[in-house]
Amino acid sequence: MAEFLEQRFPLAIRLGSSYSDDYNVEITRTAGGKEYRRLVHPIPLRRFKVSFVRSKTDLFNEVVSLYHRVYGRYAGFRVRAIDDYSTNANTLAPTTLDQPLIRISAGVYQLVKLYGTNGAALPTIGHPYRTLFKPVAGTVRIAINGVETTTGVSVDTTTGRVTISPAPAEGASVTGGCEFDIPCRFDSVIDVTPISPNFAETEEIELVELIDL
């Protein structure tokens, strides 16, 4: 597993930057036009495309230095999506009832965020979810069977795993919410263009989500 730098990508992203979620789907098309599709995994994969116009000092201190600290495409870092950083309606304050947690073992649960939950699921298609590996410290709230609990709860903000002691009974409803960052890595080089003695801009920088930490 590659290294991860617990540092957030600079927030001052220029207006017009974009992101997209995609799913790994294999599509085979026959000569007659019939398609055969296979869902490789039901997990959204996010890609960001960002660019900057900054003072040279800020650009090199904040963006280019991060690129070198993670050795380009090698190591990961945190990214905060401006309109998708909370388990509660994307941007609202987290609550204890936002999302179900996935039970890993007795007393250990994984924070997640479900997508596509604003409509009824088809009988054979469930709701995809993003594993929240990087919750923001101090924002996690947990409930057991609908009642908030603040004692015996520890959160690992580097993995998104929650440990509850004593462990809830098997079958108990454990829910929670948090603010989160998305773990990403660079998926392109950074091209810097000087536009004056004091300012520079970057070409489009591509970031890709890490879905298996």
Dihedral of CA 88/96/113/187: which sign? Answer: positive
* Same domain assignment for residues 90 and 153: yes
Lowest mean pLDDT among 53-57, 157-161, 167-171, 177-181: 53-57
Tokens of 11: 């927030």
How close are the terminal C-alpha atoms of the chain, in Å?
7
* Same domain assignment for residues 174 and 192: no
Is a pLDDT exceeding 70 seen at residue 141? yes
Across the chain, mean pLDDT equals 90
| pLDDT value at residue 3 | 92
| pTM for this predicted structure | 0.88
pLDDT band at 212 (very low <50, low <70, confident <90, very high): confident
Tokens of 14: 């220029």
Please give the residue range of the domain that contains residue 151.
86-178
Is a pLDDT exceeding 70 seen at residue 171? yes
* Same domain assignment for residues 32 and 94: no
Q: What is the percent of the chain where pLDDT is above 90?
A: 67
Q: How far apart are CA 125 and CA 42, in angstroms?
A: 10
Burial (CB < 10 A; 0-12, 13-18, 19+), residue 122, is exposed
* Same domain assignment for residues 90 and 79: no
For 48-59, how does the pLDDT look when each residue is reduced to its tens digit (9 = 90+)?
999 888 888 888
For 67-115, how does the pLDDT look when each residue is reduced to its tens digit (9 = 90+)?
999 999 999 999 999 899 999 999 999 999 999 999 999 999 999 999 8
| pLDDT value at residue 93 | 97
Tokens of 46: 């996010």
Which position has the higher pLDDT, 211 or 123?
Answer: 211
* Same domain assignment for residues 102 and 173: yes
Classify 139 as helix, strand or coil: coil
Largest interatomic CA distance in the chain: 64
14 Rama sector, left if φ>0, alpha if ψ -120 to 50, beta otherwise: beta
* Same domain assignment for residues 80 and 94: no
Is a pLDDT exceeding 70 seen at residue 117? no
Which position has the higher pLDDT, 45 or 15?
Answer: 45
Q: Are strands 192-194 and 180-186 parallel, antiparallel or unpaired?
A: unpaired
**Domains contained in the chain, number:** 2
Does residue 197 have a cis bond before it (omega within 30 degrees)? no
* Same domain assignment for residues 128 and 199: no
